[in-house]
């Protein structure tokens, strides 16, 4: 079909910009996300080649197809004046949610707009469509909002087509969720429904990446009549790019889609796996997205509805959306190329998915050939550090060099050589030794929240973090977790970090004070793991051929009380502090030096209140650890942040 005859719908409504975080102007899910997209589409003129529509509010009866009455009542009334000051308190009860006076209208417009274009595509009035909407939807569950999502827009539209408009002849729907986070809400809503094939490719990082847990695992395949109709492709690590996603398309999604034969495709189009996204840590290019979309055009007569989900780098999200709309108009990918190979872990995940689903889908029964899986790109580890001040250019020089290296790597592992294996032998020797030694790592900041701490072990990130952690080489979970209080002062300092953005981060005063009381979560981990955490807390990149804190340091610290990790002395947390023993094992933490306290007191280095997202991690840790109630934990953090040193 000629490109000028393609009827592509495009929805944008500025009223959805009325929804924003009243307490955090830097919140990643903000109105500029859709404004930047629309500005890009206008400047390129591509909007003039589409059928542009205003948003339309959803009706409660349609939302009730997937959400409970209590959920609907909450979202409908949350922006009313009578809620007023209670709004923030209500939001705090949910996972990564904010509300303001414009939230209700935006949520209804977002859901209604996706219904509107889905219906028009199903009717044949449009060939395809893109709904530039917010708030996003795929995390929202039947009875609660979460993860920036208020209503599950794609799920509502799916159920609407199947149950409210049977006259349209839509009997089977494929939902493709390529947002970097797992679509937990959508999965649960269609868990046992064979009419919907739900496919999600996302970072999982062994359950430590948001939304966390095992819902996003490849073993979650549906149940009852829906068994086999839920497909999760869970990345083990960040930095996955075009080659990784296209390998999944060719070896999982496309073969299954051919057998399923959908009547229409709905895409939960999150672009937080795009290059440069602060939350995703992956590297999909606009070209990559365009090829992924183009491969789906062969199904359902090209009837595709795309609904915006995540994506928090304004340039990447705008360029990626434009690339996708170009595909819908032209029916071919944008110009570009992708020469890199998938990671080795990508092939491992793909084979595990195929093995799990082979009983349901015959095309997946055959094992991938060694020739196919041997073409891999080396995985270069990049570490994110709370000590990495975004105003300090030195760490970023290292980071940018690594970015360039990764862009250029296309050779297999066999091309990489280490002189005589010496470096590998040295690293293996100290790791083998320290992996046998257990210590208690005492945490007082965001690491009190277990999911956040596990990012330092297994890799990944939790909501609010702007950069992922690479994790420890030893990804075993802590053997024990206990809580204790210590006579030390908790306070917050520094103005901004690369991990959390604007706002202070937690420090523990190195000197004890009987008048102070700091809550600390203690993780029993190996000394090898402690070294990997110490590294990630302090620097962006470092050659770990030798430990930062070795057996000599461990033996001396009981008398010296503190040891400076000199190799990372420019980091904010290089001072390892001894806090005593528990069950015969040393208790260690990491904080600033005593000399830094003078700089904080004098104002040479600023003390600063934590951001809302950072503080919420501390509060969540204290509450889930059953140390304080939410109100008590909030007060504890506020007092620590407001008291002068």
Per-residue pLDDT tens over the stretch 505-528: 999 999 999 999 999 999 999 999
With CA atoms as reference, report the closest residue to 180 among 221, 225, 234, 257. Answer: 234
At 618, the pLDDT band (50, 70, 90 cuts) reads very high
Q: Is the pLDDT of residue 416 over 70?
A: no
Q: Is the pLDDT of residue 380 over 50?
A: no
Residue 352 sits in a domain of what CATH number? 3.40.800.20
DSSP SS3 for 443: strand
Phi, psi dihedrals of residue 567, rounded to the nearest 5° = -65, -20
- Compute the distance between CA of residue 280 and CA of residue 309 in angstroms, rounded to an integer: 13
- Return mean pLDDT, the chain: 89
- Compute the distance between CA of residue 620 and CA of residue 450 in angstroms, rounded to an integer: 9
Of the three residues 373, 405, 423, the one that is the final residue of a domain is 373
Residues 358 and 502 in one domain: no
User: Is 164 a member of any domain?
Assistant: yes
- Compute the distance between CA of residue 573 and CA of residue 284 in angstroms, rounded to an integer: 33
- Compute the distance between CA of residue 40 and CA of residue 525 in angstroms, rounded to an integer: 49
At 425, the pLDDT band (50, 70, 90 cuts) reads very low
* Long-range CB pairs of 598-602, under 8 A, 24+ apart, other chains included: 600/491, 600/493, 600/645, 601/645
Residues 204 and 59 in one domain: yes
Residues 217 and 92 in one domain: yes
With CA atoms as reference, report the closest residue to 552 among 576, 582, 572. Answer: 576
Q: Structural domain of residue 257, as residue ranges?
A: 8-373
Minimum mean pLDDT range among 77-91, 139-153, 299-313, 596-610: 596-610
Higher pLDDT, 542 or 309: 309
Cβ proximity of 138 and 149 under 8 Å: yes
Per-residue pLDDT tens over the stretch 543-572: 567 899 999 999 999 999 999 998 888 889
Please report the pLDDT score of residue 4 as a whole number. 54
Residues 317 and 444 in one domain: no
Average pLDDT over residues 417-429: 41
The total of structural domains in the chain comes to 2
> Structure pTM?
0.65
Residues 172 and 309 in one domain: yes
User: Is 328 a member of any domain?
Assistant: yes
Average pLDDT over residues 230-251: 95
Residues 502 and 364 in one domain: no
- Compute the distance between CA of residue 622 and CA of residue 517 in angstroms, rounded to an integer: 14
Residue 505 sits in a domain of what CATH number? 3.10.490.10
Residues 297 and 444 in one domain: no
With CA atoms as reference, report the closest residue to 178 among 155, 207, 158, 199. Answer: 199
Please report the pLDDT score of residue 170 as a whole number. 98
Percentage with pLDDT > 90 across the chain: 74
Per-residue pLDDT tens over the stretch 385-399: 565 443 332 232 323
Identify any residues that bridge with 578 across adjacent strands, giving them in sequence order.
Answer: 588
Per-residue pLDDT tens over the stretch 176-202: 999 999 999 999 999 999 999 999 999
Cβ proximity of 518 and 491 under 8 Å: no
Please report the pLDDT score of residue 386 as a whole number. 62
Residues 443 and 307 in one domain: no
CB atoms within 10 A of CB 58: 24
Burial of 80 (0-12, 13-18, 19+ CB in 10 A): exposed
Residues 445 and 357 in one domain: no
Per-residue pLDDT tens over the stretch 341-369: 899 999 999 999 999 999 999 999 999 99
Q: Is the pLDDT of residue 283 over 60?
A: yes
Please report the pLDDT score of residue 160 as a whole number. 98
Higher pLDDT, 158 or 340: 158
Average pLDDT over residues 444-460: 92
Residues 450 and 368 in one domain: no
- Compute the distance between CA of residue 492 and CA of residue 506 in angstroms, rounded to an integer: 5
- Compute the distance between CA of residue 410 and CA of residue 337 in angstroms, rounded to an integer: 13
139 is catalytic: yes
Residue of 19, 67, 139, 204 with catalytic role: 139
How many helices (H) and strands (E) would you count in the chain? 21, 18
User: Is 419 a member of any domain?
Assistant: no
Residues 12 and 130 in one domain: yes
User: Is 404 a member of any domain?
Assistant: no
Token pair recorded at residue 93 = 């009860």
- Compute the distance between CA of residue 550 and CA of residue 534 in angstroms, rounded to an integer: 12
Token pair recorded at residue 371 = 């020739």
User: Is 242 a member of any domain?
Assistant: yes
Residues 125 and 269 in one domain: yes
User: Is 532 a member of any domain?
Assistant: yes
User: Is 346 a member of any domain?
Assistant: yes
Please report the pLDDT score of residue 553 as a whole number. 94
In the chain the first and final C-alpha atoms are separated, in Å, by 70
Q: Give the Å distances, CA to CA, from 596 to 493, 515, 575.
A: 11, 21, 11
Per-residue pLDDT tens over the stretch 535-549: 999 875 555 678 999
- Compute the distance between CA of residue 357 and CA of residue 230 in angstroms, rounded to an integer: 9
The residue whose two tokens read 């908790």 is 490
Percentage with pLDDT > 70 across the chain: 90
User: Is 367 a member of any domain?
Assistant: yes
């Amino acid at each position: 079909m000629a490109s000028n005859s393609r009827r592509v719908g495009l929805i944008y409504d500025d009223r959805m910009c009325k929804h924003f975080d009243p307490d955090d102007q830097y919140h990643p899910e903000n109105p500029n996300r859709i404004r930047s997209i629309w500005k890009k589409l206008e400047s390129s003129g591509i909007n003039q080649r589409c059928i542009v529509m205003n948003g339309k509010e959803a009706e409660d009866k349609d939302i009730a197809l997937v959400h409970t009455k209590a959920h609907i009542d909450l979202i409908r009334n949350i922006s009313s004046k009578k809620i007023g000051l209670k709004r923030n308190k209500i939001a705090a009860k949910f996972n990564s949610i904010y509300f303001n006076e414009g939230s209700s209208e935006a949520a209804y417009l977002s859901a209604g707009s996706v219904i509107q274009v889905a219906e028009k595509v199903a009717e044949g009035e449009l060939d395809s469509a893109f709904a530039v909407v917010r708030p996003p939807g795929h995390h929202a569950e039947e009875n609660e909002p979460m993860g920036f999502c208020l209503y599950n827009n794609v799920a509502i539209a799916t159920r609407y087509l199947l149950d409210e408009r049977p006259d349209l002849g839509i009997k089977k729907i494929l939902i493709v969720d390529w947002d970097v986070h797992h679509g937990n809400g959508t999965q649960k809503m269609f868990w046992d429904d064979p009419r919907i094939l739900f496919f999600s490719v996302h970072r999982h990082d062994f359950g430590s990446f948001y939304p966390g847990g095992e819902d996003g695992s490849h073993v979650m395949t549906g149940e009852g009549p829906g068994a086999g109709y839920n497909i999760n492709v869970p990345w083990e690590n960040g930095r996955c790019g075009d080659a990784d996603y296209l390998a999944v398309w060719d070896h999982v999604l496309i073969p299954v889609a051919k057998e399923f034969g959908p009547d229409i495709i709905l895409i939960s189009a999150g672009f937080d796996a795009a290059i440069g996204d602060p939350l995703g840590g992956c590297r999909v290019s606009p070209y990559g997205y365009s090829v992924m979309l183009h491969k789906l055009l062969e199904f359902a007569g090209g009837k595709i509805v795309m609904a915006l989900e995540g994506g928090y780098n304004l340039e990447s999200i705008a360029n990626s959306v434009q690339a996708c709309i170009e595909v819908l108009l032209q029916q071919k990918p944008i110009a570009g190329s992708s020469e890199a190979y998938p990671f080795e872990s990508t092939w491992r995940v793909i084979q595990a998915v195929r093995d799990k689903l082979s009983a349901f889908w015959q095309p997946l029964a055959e094992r991938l050939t060694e020739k196919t899986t041997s073409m891999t790109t080396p995985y270069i580890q990049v570490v994110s550090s709370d000590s990495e001040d975004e105003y300090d250019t030195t760490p970023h020089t290292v980071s940018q060099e690594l970015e360039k290296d990764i862009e250029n790597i296309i050779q297999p592992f066999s091309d990489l050589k280490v002189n005589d294996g010496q470096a590998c032998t040295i690293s293996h020797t100290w790791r083998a030794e320290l992996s046998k030694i257990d210590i208690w790592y005492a945490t007082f900041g965001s690491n009190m929240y277990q999911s956040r701490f596990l990012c330092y072990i297994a890799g990944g990130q939790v909501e609010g973090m702007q950069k992922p952690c690479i994790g420890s080489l030893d990804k075993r979970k802590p053997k024990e977790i206990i809580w204790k209080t210590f006579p030390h002062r908790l306070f917050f300092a520094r103005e901004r970090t690369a991990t959390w953005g604007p706002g202070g981060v937690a420090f523990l005063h190195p000197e004890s004070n009987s008048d102070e009381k700091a809550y600390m979560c203690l993780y029993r981990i190996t000394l090898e793991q402690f070294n990997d955490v110490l590294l990630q807390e302090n620097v962006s990149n470092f050659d770990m051929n030798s430990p930062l804190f070795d057996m000599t340091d461990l033996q001396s610290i009981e008398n010296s009380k503190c040891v400076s990790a000199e190799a990372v002395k420019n980091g904010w947390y290089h001072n390892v502090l001894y806090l005593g023993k528990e069950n015969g094992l040393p208790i260690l933490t990491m904080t600033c030096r005593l000399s830094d306290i003078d700089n904080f007191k004098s104002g040479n280095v600023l003390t600063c209140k934590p951001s809302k997202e950072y503080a919420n991690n501390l509060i969540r840790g204290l509450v889930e650890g059953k140390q304080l109630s939410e109100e008590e934990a909030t007060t504890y953090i506020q007092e620590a942040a407001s008291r002068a040193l």
